[in-house]
Amino acid sequence: MRAGVVIFPGSNCDRDALHAVALAGADAIPLWHEDPDLHGADLVILPGGFSYGDYLRAGALARFSPVMRAVAEHAAAGGLVLGICNGFQVLAEAGLVPGVLLRNASLRFEHGWVRLAVERRDTPFTALVPDGRTLRMPIAHGEGCYHLPDAELDALEARGGVLFRYAGPEGNPNGSARDIAGVLDARGRVCGLMPHPERAAESILGSDDGMLLLRSLVTSAAASGVAR
Amino acid sequence: MSGTAATPLHRALGVTDEELAAIVERLGRDPNDLELAMFSVMWSEHCSYKSSKPLLRTLPTGGDDVVAGPGENAGVMSIGDGLAVAFKLESHNHPSAVEPYQGAATGVGGILRDIFTMGARPIAILDGLKFGDPASPRTRHLVRGVVRGVGGYGNCVGVPTVGGELVFHPSYAENPLVNVMAVGLLEERLLTLAAAPGPGNLCILFGSTTGRDGIGGASILASATFGAEGQQKRPTVQVGDPFAEKLLIEASLELIEQGLVEGLQDLGAAGITCAVSETADRAKTGIAVDLDAIPRREEGMEPFEVMISESQERMLAVVLPEKAEAVLAVCRRWGLPAATIGRVTADGLITIVSGGIADDGSPLPGARVLARIPAAALTSDAIVHARVASAPTRRRPAPAPGLPVRQAGSLPERGMDSGAVLLALLADANLASRAWVTRQYDATVGTDTVEASERAAGVIRVKGTRKGLVMATDANARVGRIDPWLGAAMAVAECARNIAVTGARPLGVTNCLNYGSPERPEAFWELGEGVRGIADACRALGLPVTGGNVSLYNESLAGAIAPTAQIGIVGLLDELDLLVRPAFRAAGDAVVLLGSGGAGLGGSIYAELAGIDPDDPPPALDLAAEAALLRLLREAASARLLRSAQDVSGGGLAVALAECAFWGGIGADCAVPLHASPADDLFGEAPGRVVASVDPARLAELRALAERHGVPLRRIGTTGGDRLRIALGDPASATAEEGAVAEHGALDRTLAELREAWERGLPRALGEDAGDVVSVASEER
Amino acid sequence: MSTYRFAVSVMPKDGILDPQGRAVEGSLPHLGISAVHAIRVGRRVELSVDAAGEAEARAIVERLAGELLANPVIESWTIARADGEGRAG
Amino acid sequence: MSTYRFAVSVMPKDGILDPQGRAVEGSLPHLGISAVHAIRVGRRVELSVDAAGEAEARAIVERLAGELLANPVIESWTIARADGEGRAG
Ligand SMILES: Nc1ncnc2c1ncn2[C@@H]1O[C@H](COP(=O)(O)OP(=O)(O)O)[C@@H](O)[C@H]1O
Ligand SMILES: [Mg+2]
């Protein structure tokens, strides 16, 4: 199973994602933003960071990178894509997942540990998460306030597009609509997620809950890779 | 750039008549205007250390593990396995006073460049911040801007901020301090020095283009007192571009890893002038600069502007000619402008040429030589001033350890509720939770952060090993104001203790000396005392000083800052799973106090809050006892004897106990013998003490170890419950071995109320809880 | 070929949360200002375009605004000349 | 008492580095755009002021701009009517 991690100029969680997804059992390779070839990746991760400095709007400039055409094609063909933090912002700007990430309600960068309720377990991203289990992982972003017009939110919820919500005493850190922390595209193959599972992949770092997500993904990608 | 009849050019540039004579002597002729401008920035205090050099020579710098010491961009110490750690502290005080967001941001950028220039990947940032009264609108504006700036830059480049300090003291009202420490990790074989060896080699400038920003920043901002005159001297503000810095980090490390550079130097103060003269001087070579080849951001820049511009995010690489194409290719890949701007020569001169240079660095036919200066004259052979030091007439020297101290004010004795005092201390702006700050910093990027901020030292694991690096930064302005020797020495001791309580071995020390004008004998005396304090403490604790930074002229019309020696220490934990944390971990554990404090409330937060007899001295510092305590802590940690450990510092024993308790969610019932006065015993900040919790079954073992190290150990209580109770014993029972001290009135509070006071304190002090002025000006982007 | 300078104003759409605007409004009482309301904070981008004529230049700016400078889900934009001519705003 | 609507345009001062503008410019090749240059990114703030006359209203906006909307050290600003009248930019 090969996982490709895209490096945009300004990505700063690319090495973290490579490290964690390798721990989860994948053959992890870097993908360069100017190279429109995914080099056989079964799974593509858009990592966190500040692609193009987050200038203008987070994710707005990265979405035009040559690699994003390949990512869009991969997704269109049913390939798995996970966008973490800035990667979520890039996916949203590119229209690969619904919604917009506005500035945090506090108008500040927010770092901290949050708890995520997992809304569905029948997805490639959450298959291994035990029932009833919430996931603890860090957030670190300035623009993570999830927004969609109300009617579209209703539609998103109705189709099961909300995958993670902020929960527990730590609460909603950024003012996201309906506490949404992560969403799925219509086919359920592309996921955008503000918190950082790759930073919660080893207990020495405070939590290994993120591993449940990454292992789910690696397992599903391996299965679908065989299928294709 | 020109002088007038009334003010000749050299004086307008801040060069004294005496300095001009020294320049003429080194050149054997009068300097032209460009040369004078180059001298003026290089002979600024910031670049030349012309006042502090003789003092800095007295610091101990040797040690087995030192790979690179003072003089390089950062200190480097070996941590085994072929790995080394690079670390350094630097100030960006005056730029932050002018423009807090950009000043702090570019401060972070500058210190990070010092780290990756050496071939180290930056792995952590710590920020030592000092401001005036948190209730004043100006302070609030500065705090908000500086914190946003540190975060705005550090978060974007992807280096976790894992520690720091936030101190409020009235002396910083007009002159805040922004000291930033950066830590990096490198393979020793990749260590890269900032030298320009090999005549014929190329000098390649890469990163951002050169603009008019920060013209004269180093010399003028950092070397002048803020006052009416300082206002006009303010140069163009530098704007940081962390995105460019991130690309610069990746490109620089790639160049080093691929073996493409012979030397690498970042551009900071004094820009290209500093980079070429320092690298040439270190290698005993010269450099010919092709002025026209320098990529510019603006049209019509004068040669002197190009040569001294402090545009951010630039690097200078010294490269073998056959590798130049490969270097340029790496820069292109990372989207960074790069240009060959000069050649290394054998003549020891910095030559600035317009019109092109030949392969050997000589001017092409028809080209003009605009400046020609011996590299040494600009750097190692810069002028050194013998400044006059004189102690203030009325001063209180540090008390000697063990001397009896006169009783001082002691509020709890006057019928004041000690529980209320503890709540007030926990809520004090200087002691309350820093979460309002640290939430704005990415502390977990890099997937190596084991412990960050809030509680104690930052802890970073070293991937591929079982090791951990532990880091902290401390200063002690309040004590420094009373006795600058003691303030500096105590900062070293406290910082080392912060490292040692985790079980780590402190490796080495970096520092930033923040003082007033060296031209004032009293301020220069303070600087001398501070350096002496650092040297004494480092010798006693066996720690080398591997680098640092000097920031003088920290004065405003309102006066000088409290003398502030900011200390940074990195320690090594050989086995990360031996890490000891500060929070209580289990009910029923024995609570012990290691070390014994003396009396003296001078310089404490309690004194500021409650007021004390102005003649009450600060507590004494016993460096030998401190060294023994450090050794004990390390051995106790390796034997896994400690369930938790936390040093006693700001707010004293009561605050330390409260923090251990509410961080762990486990209370404690304690009894403390009354030694000096209730205020001293509960809230005094005597150094050399640690609160630890221990499995009762292993207490005897710890006690034996403590005895062997000659460190006093006293069991003061037991963990458990959801309250913190501290009974004060009768002085008569102070000699009693343990337990039953006759009570003298107990402090008794729930963990919930203690925690709430601590959590709300800072937002409340800054007016953030009630809503305050929020600006959308540029810092918000 | 001439060079035209434009200013693109990008503002949050009506009905979209504008936390910056709200924050500024919230600080007005601290400044003793009560007469100001309905604050919206957006972006202004100035740029130069080389083109054969204004219509061609404007078309390029239109495209840039819709694809890059604004996010049509939440923002609307207007384009104006920012050189001699239509300089305003 | 009338209500006046203004737009405050805040731009980085000349000579001050504008990293945003630079980054946007750097990504234009990806959009296949080559005719655009000299991009500067700033802020636009729209607000309404209740005042007896335009001069009074404008004075309030002036004060607000210098104290809250712009950072005078690195930014300059212009103020324009943004209602019926001077609507532009
Ligand atoms: N400006 C800051 N940035 C990051 N961390 C900070 C800052 N100020 C304080 N901290 C963190 O808050 C904690 C408490 O600070 P301090 O009171 O100085 O600690 P100590 O008692 O160990 O000296 C430490 O972990 C410190 O690293
Ligand atoms: Mg400390």
State pLDDT tens for residues B12-36: 888 999 999 999 999 999 999 999 9
Distance CA C79, CA C49 (A): 13
B551/B744: higher pLDDT = B551
Mutate to test the pocket of ligand 1, among B438, B470, B570 (most ligand atoms within 8 A of CB): B438
- Residue B414 structure tokens: 């006057």
- Atom index in ligand 1 nearest the CA of residue B495 equals 23
State pLDDT tens for residues B427-484: 999 999 999 999 999 999 999 999 996 778 999 999 999 999 999 999 999 999 999 9
State pLDDT tens for residues A48-87: 999 999 998 899 999 999 999 999 999 999 999 999 999 9
With 60 as the cut, is the pLDDT of residue A226 above it? no
With 50 as the cut, is the pLDDT of residue B229 above it? no
Number of domains in chain A: 1
Which partners does chain D have (≥3 C-beta pairs < 8 Å)? A, B, C
Residue of A63, A100, A148, A176 to mutate for C, most C C-beta atoms under 10 A: A100
- Residue B418 structure tokens: 């000690």
With 50 as the cut, is the pLDDT of residue B263 above it? yes
| pLDDT score, position A225 | 63
Chain C contact present for B771, CB below 8 A: yes
The SS3 call for residue B2 is coil
The letter for the amino acid at C29 is P
Distance CA B75, CA B186 (A): 12
Distance CA B370, CA B654 (A): 66
**Contact (CB, 8 A) for B88 and B128:** no
What residue spans define the domains of chain C?
2-81
Residues 6 or more apart whose Cβ sits within 8 Å of residue B138: B132, B173
Q: Is the CB of B723 under 6 A from ligand 1?
A: no
- Residue minimizing CA distance to atom 20 of ligand 1: B456
Query: Chain B partners of A107 at a C-beta cutoff of 8 Å?
Result: 774, 780
Asked whether the beta carbons of residue D31 and residue A56 sit closer than 8 angstroms, the reply is no
Closest residue on chain C to B781 (Cα):
C43
Query: Chain A partners of C68 at a C-beta cutoff of 8 Å?
Result: 56, 60-61, 64
With 90 as the cut, is the pLDDT of residue B615 above it? no
The SS3 call for residue B360 is coil
How far is the alpha carbon of B441 from chain A, nearest alpha carbon, in Å?
6
- For range B205-230, the mean pLDDT: 66
With 70 as the cut, is the pLDDT of residue B230 above it? no
Chain C contact present for B769, CB below 8 A: no
- Of all residues in chain A, the percent with pLDDT exceeding 70 is 98
Distance CA B455, CA B47 (A): 36
Q: What is the CATH number of the domain that holds A89?
A: 3.40.50.880
- Residue B305 structure tokens: 């502007």
- Residue minimizing CA distance to atom 18 of ligand 1: B165
| Phi, psi angles (nearest 5°) of residue B719 | -80, 155
Burial (0-12, 13-18, 19+ Cβ within 10 Å), B13: buried
How far is the alpha carbon of C55 from chain B, nearest alpha carbon, in Å?
30
How far is the alpha carbon of C21 from chain B, nearest alpha carbon, in Å?
9
Q: Is the CB of B434 under 6 A from ligand 1?
A: yes
Which helix (DSSP H) or strand (DSSP E) does residue D50 occupy?
A: strand D36-51
Mutate to test the pocket of ligand 1, among B147, B159, B165 (most ligand atoms within 8 A of CB): B165
State pLDDT tens for residues B623-633: 999 999 999 99
**Contact (CB, 8 A) for B215 and B308:** yes
Which helix (DSSP H) or strand (DSSP E) does residue B352 occupy?
A: strand B349-354
| pLDDT score, position B408 | 44
With 90 as the cut, is the pLDDT of residue B413 above it? no
Closest CA to B130 of B491, B418, B644, B528: B491
Chain D contact present for C10, CB below 8 A: yes
Positions of E strands within B177-270: 177-187, 202-207, 263-266
| CATH class, range C2-81 | alpha beta
| pLDDT score, position B12 | 87
Distance CA B351, CA B369 (A): 7
| pLDDT score, position B678 | 87
- Atom index in ligand 1 nearest the CA of residue B129 equals 1
| pLDDT score, position B3 | 63
**Contact (CB, 8 A) for B324 and B261:** no
Q: What residues of B are labeled active site?
A: 46, 92
**Contact (CB, 8 A) for A18 and A5:** yes
Which helix (DSSP H) or strand (DSSP E) does residue C8 occupy?
A: strand C2-12
Residues 6 or more apart whose Cβ sits within 8 Å of residue B474: B128, B165, B491, B494, B495, B498, B566, B567
Q: Is the CB of B532 under 6 A from ligand 1?
A: no
Residue A32 CA from chain centroid, whole number: 18
Distance CA B724, CA B289 (A): 68
Distance CA B70, CA B572 (A): 20
Query: Chain D partners of B777 at a C-beta cutoff of 8 Å?
Result: 10, 68-71, 75
State pLDDT tens for residues B353-367: 999 999 999 999 999
Residue B443 CA from chain centroid, whole number: 18
| pLDDT score, position B736 | 40
| pLDDT score, position D87 | 41
Predicted ipTM of the assembly:
0.91
Query: Chain C partners of D31 at a C-beta cutoff of 8 Å?
Result: 64, 67-68
Res. B779 pLDDT band, cuts 50 70 90? low
**Contact (CB, 8 A) for A107 and B775:** no
State pLDDT tens for residues B40-94: 999 998 899 999 999 999 999 988 899 998 888 999 999 999 999 999 999 999 9
B776 → closest Cβ in C24, C30, C31: C24
**Contact (CB, 8 A) for B99 and D71:** yes
Half-sphere exposure of residue A197: CA atoms within 13 angstroms, side-chain side: 34
CA distances from B64 to A11, B79, B540, B628, B638 (A): 38, 11, 16, 20, 22
Domain span at residue A195 reads 2-224
Query: Chain A partners of C20 at a C-beta cutoff of 8 Å?
Result: 103, 107
State pLDDT tens for residues A152-186: 999 999 999 999 999 989 999 999 999 999 999 99
What rounded mean pLDDT belongs to chain B? 90
Q: Which residues of chain D have pLDDT under 70?
A: 84-89
Res. B611 pLDDT band, cuts 50 70 90? confident
| pLDDT score, position B769 | 77
Distance CA B775, CA D43 (A): 13
- For range C12-32, the mean pLDDT: 86
Res. A223 pLDDT band, cuts 50 70 90? confident
∠A122-A124-A126 over CA atoms, to 5°?
A: 65
CA distances from A35 to A32, A48, B317 (A): 5, 19, 28
pTM of the predicted model as reported, rounded to 2 decimal places: 0.93
D19 → closest Cβ in A55, A61, A65: A55
Chain A contact present for B576, CB below 8 A: yes
Chain B contact present for D59, CB below 8 A: no
Q: Across the A/B interface, how many CB contacts are shorter than 8 Å? A: 86
How far is the alpha carbon of D88 from chain B, nearest alpha carbon, in Å?
22
| Phi, psi angles (nearest 5°) of residue B778 | -45, -30
| pLDDT score, position B597 | 81
Active site residue A85: yes
| Phi, psi angles (nearest 5°) of residue B776 | -110, 15
- Residue B777 structure tokens: 């000006």
**Contact (CB, 8 A) for B111 and B186:** no
- Atom index in ligand 1 nearest the CA of residue B649 equals 21
- Helix, strand, coil shares of chain D as percentages rounded to 5? 35, 40, 30
Residues 6 or more apart whose Cβ sits within 8 Å of residue B383: B18, B19, B22, B43, B48, B50
Res. B2 pLDDT band, cuts 50 70 90? low
- Residue B219 structure tokens: 């010399």
Distance CA B75, CA B72 (A): 7
| pLDDT score, position B636 | 98
The letter for the amino acid at A217 is L
**Contact (CB, 8 A) for B594 and B550:** no
| pLDDT score, position A178 | 97
Positions of E strands within chain A: 2-7, 27-32, 43-46, 80-84, 100-102, 110-118, 135-141, 145-147, 162-167, 180-184, 190-193
Chain B contact present for C17, CB below 8 A: no
Positions of E strands within B145-278: 161-168, 177-187, 202-207, 263-266
Query: Chain C partners of B771 at a C-beta cutoff of 8 Å?
Result: 26-27, 30
State pLDDT tens for residues B544-563: 999 999 999 999 888 899 99
| pLDDT score, position B748 | 95
| pLDDT score, position A180 | 98
DSSP string, C25-77: HHHGGGGT--SEEEEEEEEEEEEEEEESSHHHHHHHHHHHIIIII--TTTEEE
Q: Furthest-apart CA pair in chain A: how many Å?
A: 45
Which helix (DSSP H) or strand (DSSP E) does residue B231 occupy?
A: helix B228-233
Distance CA A164, CA A177 (A): 12
Q: Is the CB of B582 under 6 A from ligand 1?
A: no
Distance CA B155, CA A13 (A): 11
The letter for the amino acid at B485 is W
Instruction: Return contacts of B736-744, CB within 8 angstroms, 24+ apart.
Output: B736/B673, B738/B714, B739/B671, B739/B715, B740/B671, B741/B671, B741/B672, B741/B673, B741/B674, B743/B671, B744/B674, B744/B678
Half-sphere exposure of residue B507: CA atoms within 13 angstroms, side-chain side: 30
With 70 as the cut, is the pLDDT of residue B217 above it? no
With 90 as the cut, is the pLDDT of residue A102 above it? yes
- For range B229-242, the mean pLDDT: 64
- For range B771-781, the mean pLDDT: 55
Catalytic residue among A85, A110, A141, A191: A85
